[in-house]
Each structure stands twice: as C-alpha cells, then as structure tokens.
Amino acid sequence: MSTYRADMSISEVLASHPDAPAVFERHGLPCAGCLGASMETLEAVAHVHGVSTATLLAQLNALVLDDTEEEN
C-alpha cells in the first residue's frame, strides 16, 4: 500500500492493513462490521458520520509511514 485515498472503498482500506479498523473505531465508526463497507468510500463514510476525511486519511497514511520506517 502506498497511500490511502478518499475514493477507496472501506473494505479495501480495512483489508490493506491490520491496524486500519482501529483508526475507524477511534472515531466511533464500526466499519469492520458494516454491510456497506464494500460499497461506501472513505469520503462518503466520513461525510455521513461527521468525521474529517483529511483526519482519517492522515491517520491511515501514518500506518503506512510507520511500516515504512520499521522496514528501514
């Protein structure tokens, strides 16, 4: 995974990193158990639930950055 994007489906995000569900849970988003996860985008879920898309993206992308730093 290089970086997360607002147009990615929730299921794609959740499957991409083992810590991704925790990012959603921090914001009260139970996306891991949601039936719409395969159809909804990160941006749509953030909007509907009043969460900043930019904040979610920053926290998800921090997971990728942390993994990259651990590899080096």
Average pLDDT value for residue range 9-18 = 94
Query: Does the structure show a pLDDT above 90 at 4?
Result: yes
CA 58, distance to chain mean position in Å, is 9
Residue 47 included in any domain: yes
42-49 helix and 53-71 helix, angle to the nearest 10 degrees: 130
Residue 27 lies in a domain: yes
The tally of domains found in the chain comes to 1
**Do the domain assignments include residue 60?**
yes
Here the CATH number for the domain that contains residue 30 is 1.10.3910.10
pTM of the predicted protein model: 0.85
Specify if 25 maps to a domain. yes
**In this predicted model, what pLDDT tens digit does every residue of 23-32 receive, in sequence order?**
999 999 988 8
What's the pLDDT tens digit per position in 25-72? Answer: 999 998 888 888 889 999 999 999 999 999 999 999 999 886 665 666
Domain containing 32 equals 10-66
Q: What is the pLDDT of residue 19?
A: 94
